[in-house]
Chain A
Amino acid sequence: MTNARTSMIDLATRWLILGLLIVYTIYNVGPIFWLLLSSFKSRMDLFSMPPKLFFTPDLSGYQSVFGVGAAKDSASAVGVFDSLVNSIIVSVSGTALAVFFGTLAGYVCSRFNFRGKGDFMFFVLSTRMLPPVAVLVFYHLMFARLGLADTRFGLVLVAIFANIGLATWIMKGFFDGVPKEVEQIAIVNGYTRMYAFTRLVLPMVKGGIAATAGFCFIFAWNEFAFASILTTTQAKTLPVKISAASGATGIEWTQICAAGVVLIIPVLIFFYLIRKHLLMGMTFGVLGRR
């Protein structure tokens, strides 16, 4: 009797859990599906009621993002492809430099004890937490004075500073995973510390460097606040460009959705490649060390 009732409750709980999981999956995946679908819709299909699941695909959104085909000359498409190029240049060079500097700093923080190390590490990480608009109040003036406003170089500088903290902490985590004996043995055998670092330790954290680069790229690629305030025409990145994609006929939804899909593809690839280090990257190299 009691057993039957417990198993009934068990069964009900299991169904309830399953139901909630299905609801969450729809909430989670549905909008992505809708974004993908809408990126292929023509203006007519976009506003049709009831919303259409089947329609003839319209590539004008993608044409304007990549600057090809008939749609590239429409008013709202002007400069969109240039902004994609800006996005690529800024995030790739910003990532490369942030990872380079972050690797150096991360190594020192992992291996040495020095005065003010704790303060340095806090300062470095706090840059990751910094509300962009707060520093932007001053950047706005500083960039204008230094002639950095609306330049890719200025945005690269921002990408470096915004990711250096993350890179330092994640790389410190990876270096912590390499035994200190590696350098000790090398030094005993007459090699310099620099040799041990470049020839022995660095190759051991290759995967970590790649993962760190993946993380920095994702953040630089999606960055909006800095780029939106510090650019006006020339150096706009894709996220900034699409936020202004409202032509005479209102917001260009197809173009925004297509840009959204184009923006997510490289991130999706990187995410899959660095999935083993996801946890490490998200907790600043503290958890999930392997």
Chain B
Amino acid sequence: MASSQTTTTEDRAAGHARRQAELRKRSSGRLMIFGFLSPSLAILLFMVAYPIFSLIYYSFYNFSALRQTTMKPVGLSNYTFLLSDPELWQRFVFTGKFVFICVTLQMLIGIFVGYQLQKNFRGRDIIFTLLMMPMMLSPVVVGFLWRYMLNSEWGIVNYLLSSVGLPKVDWLGQTNAALWAAAAADTWMWTPFIVLLATAAFRGIPETIYEAAEVDGASPAYRFFRITLPMSAPVLFIALILRLIDSFKQYDLFVALTGGGPGSSTETVSYAVAKTAFSYFYTGEASALAVILLLIITGLSMILVRHLTKMGEKY
């Protein structure tokens, strides 16, 4: 009887100590969470949240950065003006065409090359690093490099075309040719990215699955379309979304390659934001356009993050 009483007291004391320790641990954990996150959070609130809320605020005003004293609230008219502006729709159509061509080409070429490069061979690291080179350049340099190569008179591309008997093309002087020129430059730069991801995805497929298919006498096409592609689909999907987002907001490349021209026919949505804000100084209107752009990109990002977190749980 006495002994059982002592045990309960001891138990209680031990329980108390454990709870104390637990509490201390939890509060030290809280301190760590707070201490470790707050610098990042502070910077991001100041550099992202504050600007975005300000943009939303400005988007309801008629306002120019040049005359900051006169701010007139105009309600939704910046938005209604933009959405009824055929020129803006043209920017969206152009951006859409550019995104579609770029992403399609990059995925097709990237998957093809990645499939061929999945095997181990000597010097693979070096060859891979060399293949990745376009991705390492600054987008402005890429823009200038292609502008240099695509010059209609003395550019190397037209020289090569004419040396095999094809007509010279005024690459940057016509809207359609300029669209394809920009797509060629973007594809040049970013296909290596798809190659990188696709190769890794293909190499992650267990050999035993292929061996089983081999036994069943599967053709190479069957192997590729029924095993390789479906099994690497999650990774390829992430690659696709990343390229969608990046090409949709493309700005640097066009500054250096086409300067938005000929005329204003190769202006992307991002380019239009920059032009409205920093050439015309229609800050209110630019803010509204920026908000629209942000909404689209945030939508795409949400899809991306959902898939990334799902992958993170699986691997």
**Counting chain B CB atoms within 10 Å of each CB, which of A134, A221, A278, A279 scores highest?**
A134
Residue of B nearest to A288 (CB): B200
Number of interface residues of B (CB under 8 A): 90
Contact between chains at A218 and B36 (CB < 8 Å):
no
Instruction: Judge if A271 is at the interface, Cβ distance under 8 Å.
Output: yes
Contact between chains at B308 and A243 (CB < 8 Å):
no
If A160-B43, A286-B311 touch, whether A129 touches B156 (CB-CB below 8 Å) is no
Contact between chains at B200 and A28 (CB < 8 Å):
no
Contact between chains at A104 and B133 (CB < 8 Å):
no
Residue of A nearest to B281 (CB): A140
Chain A interface: which of B81-89, B96-104, B135-143, B174-182? B135-143
Give chain A nearest CB distance to B306 CB in angstroms: 9
Contact between chains at B112 and A20 (CB < 8 Å):
yes
Residues of A within 8 A of B139 (CB): 222, 224
Residues of B within 8 A of A182 (CB): none
Contact between chains at B315 and A105 (CB < 8 Å):
no
Chain A 6-27, CB-CB to B under 8 Å as 1, else 0, gives 0000000000010011001101
Give chain A nearest CB distance to B109 CB in angstroms: 6
Residue of B nearest to A268 (CB): B136
Give chain A nearest CB distance to B68 CB in angstroms: 8
Contact between chains at A31 and B43 (CB < 8 Å):
no
Contact between chains at A138 and B58 (CB < 8 Å):
yes
Q: Which residues of B does A touch, CB under 8 Å? A: 25, 28-29, 32-33, 35-37, 39-41, 43-44, 47-48, 51-52, 54-55, 58, 65, 68, 109, 112-113, 116, 125, 128-134, 136-141, 144-146, 148-149, 153-154, 156, 159, 163, 188, 191-193, 196-197, 200, 235, 238, 245, 249, 251-252, 255-256, 270-271, 273-274, 277-278, 283, 286-287, 290-291, 293-294, 297-298, 300-302, 304-305, 308-309, 311-312, 315
Q: How many A-B residue contacts, CB cutoff 8 Å?
A: 266
Contact between chains at B249 and A28 (CB < 8 Å):
no
Give chain B nearest CB distance to A199 CB in angstroms: 15
Instruction: Judge if A153 is at the interface, Cβ distance under 8 Å.
Output: no
Residue of B nearest to A285 (CB): B312
Sort A-B residue pairs by CB-CB distance and give the 5 closest, nearest first: A131-B249, A222-B138, A161-B47, A134-B290, A104-B36
How distant is the Cα of A35 from the Cα of B39 in the complex, in angstroms?
Answer: 41
Give chain B nearest CB distance to A148 CB in angstroms: 11
Residues of B within 8 A of A287 (CB): 197, 200, 235, 238, 311, 315
